Structure 1
Amino acid sequence: MTIAITGATGNIGGAVARALAAASTPVRLLVRDASRAPDLPGAEVAVASFADAGASRAALEGVDLLLMVSGAEARDRLDQHRTFVAAAADAGVGHVVYTSFVGAAPDATFTLGRDHWATERAIEESGAAHTFLRDSFYLDFVEDLVGEDGVIRGPAGVGAMAAVARADVARVATEVLLHPEEHRDRTYELTGPEAITLAQAAATVSEVRGRAVTYHPESVEEAYASRARWNPEPWQADAWVSTYTAIAEGALAHVSTDVERVTRRRPLSLREVLQAG
């Protein structure tokens, strides 16, 4: 079986590629820049971007199993995804493992969750088998929410999120790629071990890092205003703000056991992610 991985220069794709190489499983790494591809034993490198149908089809020729790590946030990301999925179908890829979002739905409050839902539908309609890894927000990004003044600001109210470590997502993806038939046409909800509020997250960051970190709940209007200084495009501003409003409504509070079910390991907590970083 020929396995291909996208996003091999990133965190999740790179971790999966290294894990498969350590398991002596050859892989094909699809990257946009060959010079940045990791040098791994048994790995071949193919150059393609999601938006380039011809290059993607050529890169995926002979591939049986594909890990499609969702592309970087962009206004046209869904179009890129659809182009790539169609290229995979044309190349005869039989099984696509896709990193989706735990709240994926056509009306998801987190606006980018709508793109993930549409990408899932494109994969299903392509005729390929699928495994959807619906990741929650990443615990690794929690510290990045802290402003220079030590405050996390956003309209999350007192809502909680069961955020997941990228390392756990990579471990699940690796297991799926090593044993694809066990996970064929399955959807997994990948969360951390507990749901935490942003106030609790701030307290944990404060304790682990030894600095004062707090959470300030904004109104939606305040959130858009406070982010206007970066002059984001409307779609980007909506994505940023809806990150918090999705938490506020409780859409991300459910704690799943899928990480442990697939990997046989308890998922990492925020404290453990911070201590490892």
Structure 2
Amino acid sequence: MNVTRTSVAVTGSTGALGGAVAASLAAAGASQRLLVRDAGRAPSHPGADVAQCSYSDATAAVQALAGIDVLFMVSASESADRVDQQRTFVDSAVAAGVRHIVYTSFVGAAPDAVFTLARDHHATESHIRSTGVGFTFLRDNFYLDVMEHFVGEDGVLRGPAGEGRAALVARVDVARTAAAVLSDPARHIGRTYDLTGPEALSMTEVAATLSEVRGVDVRFHDETVAEAYESRARWAAPDWQNDAWVSTYTAIASGALADVSGDVEAITGRRPLSFREFLTVG
């Protein structure tokens, strides 16, 4: 990776996605600033300095982003006030003089998206656009990485997905794409990319592949929407969280997540992992 020299800040470096992006940039010899909530947890990379802030602390964020040209903004953790946090952070970036925000969004982000959290991403995208700052939106599909964790202890993957399909993407492919964008950010200003895997799978196919590769019995149960809310009631989650969990599957059923994009390969030069490849070598 040939890195264009520019001042880059990376959020989320203590997590899986931001951590992989930071590691990739460091391996390419890039200098970067790691923005973290807890400086003691920040990874150690050559050419990296660390600044402490949260998305909702405008004063600390402005200070942490001083001198930064390009910001890699991993979407905030799911919460009821996620959009407010992200708007505050975007405003802080603009106040600090950031000229380009690379934001991890979601495919089909829209105010009326079936997947409720995609509405949050649309609101954040809209706010970034309204500031006039340069932007690149990386719209991920659901992660391949989480599919195995969605299977219950009884070996059942359950949700109202019907025979809908999703072009699931491996987190590592999203990280590779983000790192490539950050290596030459000017080429990607004003662009929105859909980051998907190479195939669109039904949940029946996801269960069958897990069964075959892992050697365990996994099956998909197509719940009704009412059954989906009932089966998740034992976690006593807030309404917005239950809506997000259930709409994960209704969004798949709607067909909104089925389109396969070539953006990962176009940007990185390498085809993204299939689900089987992810389970065996990913």
| Higher mean displacement: 265-274 or 244-253 | 265-274
Question: How large is the RMSD of aligned CA atoms in angstroms?
Answer: 0.6
- Distance in structure 2 (CA, Å) of the matches to 1:17 and 1:102: 23
- The structural deviation recorded for 1:154 is 0.2
Aligned to 2:243: 238
- Distance in structure 2 (CA, Å) of the matches to 1:226 and 1:12: 30
Equivalent in 178, 181, 184 of residue 179 of structure 1 = 184
Aligned to 1:162: 167
- Distance in structure 2 (CA, Å) of the matches to 1:31 and 1:204: 37
CA-to-aligned-CA distance 1:211-247 (integer Å, 9 cap, x gap): 0000000000000000000001000000000000000
Aligned: 1:130 with 2:135: yes
Aligned to 2:211: 206
- Distance in structure 2 (CA, Å) of the matches to 1:241 and 1:165: 21
- Distance in structure 2 (CA, Å) of the matches to 1:13 and 1:120: 19
**Helix, strand or coil for the counterpart of 2:59?**
helix
Aligned to 1:268: 273
Aligned: 1:65 with 2:70: yes
- The structural deviation recorded for 1:272 is 1.4
| Percentage of identical aligned residues | 63
Q: Which amino acid aligns with 1:146?
A: V
Aligned to 1:6: 11
Aligned to 1:49: 54
- The structural deviation recorded for 1:184 is 1.0
Equivalent in 219, 223, 230 of residue 225 of structure 1 = 230
Equivalent pairs counted in the alignment come to 277
- Distance in structure 1 (CA, Å) of the matches to 2:196 and 2:274: 10
- Distance in structure 2 (CA, Å) of the matches to 1:197 and 1:31: 37
Q: Which amino acid aligns with 2:227?
A: E
**Helix, strand or coil for the counterpart of 1:57?**
helix
Q: Which amino acid aligns with 1:89?
A: V
- The structural deviation recorded for 1:276 is 3.0
- The structural deviation recorded for 1:204 is 0.6
- Distance in structure 1 (CA, Å) of the matches to 2:132 and 2:53: 22
Aligned to 2:3: none
Q: Which amino acid aligns with 2:199?
A: E
- Distance in structure 2 (CA, Å) of the matches to 1:208 and 1:27: 39
Aligned to 1:32: 37
CA-to-aligned-CA distance 1:91-135 (integer Å, 9 cap, x gap): 010000000000200000000000000100111111210000000
**Helix, strand or coil for the counterpart of 1:97?**
strand
Aligned to 1:96: 101
Q: Which amino acid aligns with 1:32?
A: R
Moved over 4 A (4+): none
- Distance in structure 2 (CA, Å) of the matches to 1:276 and 1:45: 32
- Distance in structure 2 (CA, Å) of the matches to 1:180 and 1:46: 22
CA-to-aligned-CA distance 1:55-105 (integer Å, 9 cap, x gap): 111100100000000011001000000000000000010000000000200
Equivalent in 194, 198, 209 of residue 193 of structure 1 = 198
Equivalent in 91, 94, 119 of residue 124 of structure 2 = 119
- Distance in structure 2 (CA, Å) of the matches to 1:276 and 1:72: 28
- The structural deviation recorded for 1:44 is 0.3
- Distance in structure 2 (CA, Å) of the matches to 1:54 and 1:197: 45
Structure 2: runs of 5 or more not aligned: 1-5
- Distance in structure 1 (CA, Å) of the matches to 2:281 and 2:42: 25
**Helix, strand or coil for the counterpart of 1:46?**
strand
- Distance in structure 1 (CA, Å) of the matches to 2:53 and 2:276: 37
- Distance in structure 1 (CA, Å) of the matches to 2:228 and 2:197: 26
What TM-score do you get using the length of structure 2 for normalisation? 0.97
**Helix, strand or coil for the counterpart of 2:147?**
helix
- Distance in structure 2 (CA, Å) of the matches to 1:129 and 1:16: 20
- Distance in structure 2 (CA, Å) of the matches to 1:37 and 1:173: 19
- Distance in structure 1 (CA, Å) of the matches to 2:280 and 2:153: 21
